[in-house]
């Protein structure tokens, strides 16, 4: 057994007492190829100080073997000895067999430190020198993908897809589909997902597939992917609002409510789930649950106008007019949406506060003057309070939209 093997065995057995002795014997006696393997193994095990000693010894014996300088440079950079590491890499000449490896090491250093443009330039330089080297192509693809240059990333991923389904732990077709989606090419992204869905196995890949299929309104496929995500990882909180949305597009209120309720146990701050869950509960005539979800949602997000308006609609449905009006007491008038004015008009009318109802109808009118439901309701109200001129004007507008409504036509003729 070589001294290098003895050293590695001792380390793996957590016996570090003779590290330096065995290392010296290895350097004095073992063959260069064994020492090169020792240095690589020491680096993988995290014993970089020992690995550096081995590489320095090899460089001293083989000063023209620049690959050892690259490996030593990488260790120095990772250990924070940046000046020494970069000096080693920069001094490797362009005619060296290890020049491309030096460029890749520099690119990795720059990218790690957020220097994206220098990293890309080093990779492009390496690509020019070794165009068939797939690791370089992958590095460029990933760099472009992570920085949002999806057009360029697609070019490289398409090149890799000819020979690879995965590279490292990355699913190439997942990256292609996601890049297409980021560029707004959802149909093409969906085509990639459908053709290669057996490759979409990781949680992130399944989630992206679900997101893409939802974007093209292939709701059943979206449900399939997102359900698989949550079966594998139930606390993947971002999947719940997407799954609830997919179910809502399929008019499956039971599943929408179930998904919302489950999702909220993992993330009580998800306003989308309160919204979708409450709508589904109301559609199922579970009005108590709908009210509970909306009130809880408004505790979490008191400024969420969608939740507020939905609760107002619920109170109108339940004819809880006092509760409906109380919702808006603290809001400045200038912040009230037109729909809120309409809702308040209905409550004031039912409570026989006709002056307030009149004001609310008039405030809502500009936004709903093309809405026949609103116009019909407004016309009936103003007829009820005896303001025939406004009634006639509103009816005229309504009959332009719904001329076949004989009842309203007769009322207009009477006026």
- 162-182: average pLDDT: 92
Query: Chain centroid to CA 185: how far?
Result: 17
Question: Which of 86, 32, 20, 84 minimizes the C-alpha distance to 60?
Answer: 32
- E strands in 307-350: none
DSSP string, 10-44: HHHTT--TTHHHHHHHHHHHS-HHHHHHHHHHHHH
Rounded to 5°, angle at Cα 397 from 391 and 403? 110
Note the pLDDT tens digit of each residue in 212-237.
Answer: 999 999 999 999 999 999 999 999 99
- E strands in 75-189: 166-167, 170-171
Q: What pLDDT is attached to residue 304?
A: 93
Spatial distance between the Cα atoms of 378 and 341, rounded to a whole number of angstroms: 12
Spatial distance between the Cα atoms of 393 and 5, rounded to a whole number of angstroms: 97
Note the pLDDT tens digit of each residue in 65-83.
Answer: 989 999 999 999 988 898 9
Break the chain down into helix, strand, coil percent, rounded to 5: 75, 0, 25
Structure tokens at 277: 């869950």
Does residue 112 register a pLDDT over 80? yes
Structure tokens at 252: 């499956």
Which backbone phi and psi does 166 adopt, to 5 degrees? -130, 155
- Give the chain's end-to-end CA distance (angstroms, integer): 111
Side-chain-side CA neighbours of 345 within 13 Å: the count stands at 23
Note the pLDDT tens digit of each residue in 23-34.
Answer: 888 888 889 999
Cβ–Cβ < 8 Å for 271, 297: yes
| Helix and strand element counts for the chain (H, E) | 25, 2
The average confidence (pLDDT) of the chain is 93
Q: Provide the 8-state DSSP code for 113.
A: T
Spatial distance between the Cα atoms of 118 and 134, rounded to a whole number of angstroms: 20
Q: Tell me the whole-structure pTM to 2 decimals.
A: 0.76
Note the pLDDT tens digit of each residue in 385-411.
Answer: 999 999 999 999 989 999 998 898 888
- 344-354: average pLDDT: 96
Spatial distance between the Cα atoms of 108 and 120, rounded to a whole number of angstroms: 10
Does residue 412 register a pLDDT over 90? no
Does residue 15 register a pLDDT over 90? no
Identify which has the larger pLDDT, 17 or 177: 177
């Amino acid at each position: 057994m070589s001294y290098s093997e003895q050293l590695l065995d001792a380390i793996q057995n957590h016996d570090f007492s003779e590290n330096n002795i065995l290392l010296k014997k290895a350097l004095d006696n073992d063959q260069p190829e064994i020492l090169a393997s020792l240095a690589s193994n020491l680096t993988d095990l995290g014993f970089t100080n020992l690995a550096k000693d081995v590489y320095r010894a090899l460089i001293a014996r083989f000063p023209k073997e620049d690959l050892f300088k690259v490996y030593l440079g990488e260790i120095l950079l990772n250990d924070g000895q940046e000046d020494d590491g970069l000096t080693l890499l920069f001094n490797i000449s362009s005619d060296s067999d290890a020049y491309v490896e030096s460029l890749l090491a520099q690119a990795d250093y720059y990218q790690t430190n957020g220097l994206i443009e220098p990293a890309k330039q080093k990779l492009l330089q390496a690509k020019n020198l070794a165009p068939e080297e797939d690791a370089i192509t992958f590095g460029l693809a990933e760099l472009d993908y992570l920085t949002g240059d999806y057009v360029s990333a697609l070019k490289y991923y398409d090149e890799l897809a000819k020979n690879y389904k995965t590279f490292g732990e990355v699913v190439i077709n997942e990256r292609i589909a996601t890049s297409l989606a980021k560029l707004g090419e959802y149909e093409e992204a969906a085509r990639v997902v459908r053709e290669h869905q057996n490759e979409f196995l990781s949680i992130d890949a399944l989630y992206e597939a679900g997101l893409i299929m939802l974007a093209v309104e292939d709701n059943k496929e979206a449900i399939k992917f997102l359900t698989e995500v949550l079966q594998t990882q139930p606390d993947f909180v971002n999947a719940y609002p997407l799954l609830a949305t997919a179910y809502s597009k399929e008019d499956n209120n039971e599943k929408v409510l179930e998904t919302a309720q489950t999702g909220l146990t993992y993330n009580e701050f998800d306003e989308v789930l309160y919204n979708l869950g409450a709508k589904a509960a109301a559609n199922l005539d579970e009005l108590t649950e709908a009210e509970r979800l909306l009130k809880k949602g408004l505790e979490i997000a008191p400024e969420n106008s969608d939740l507020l308006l939905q609760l107002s609609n619920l109170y109108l449905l339940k004819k809880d007019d006092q509760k409906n009006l109380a919702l808006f007491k603290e809001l400045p008038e200038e912040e009230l949406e037109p729909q809120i004015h309409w809702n308040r008009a209905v409550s004031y009318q039912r409570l026989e506060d006709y002056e307030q109802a009149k004001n609310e109808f008039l405030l809502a009118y500009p936004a709903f003057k093309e809405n026949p439901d609103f116009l019909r309701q407004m016309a009936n109200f103003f007829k009820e309070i005896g303001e025939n001129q406004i009634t006639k004007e509103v009816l005229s507008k309504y009959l332009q939209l719904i001329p076949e409504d004989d009842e309203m036509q007769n009322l207009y003729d009477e006026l």
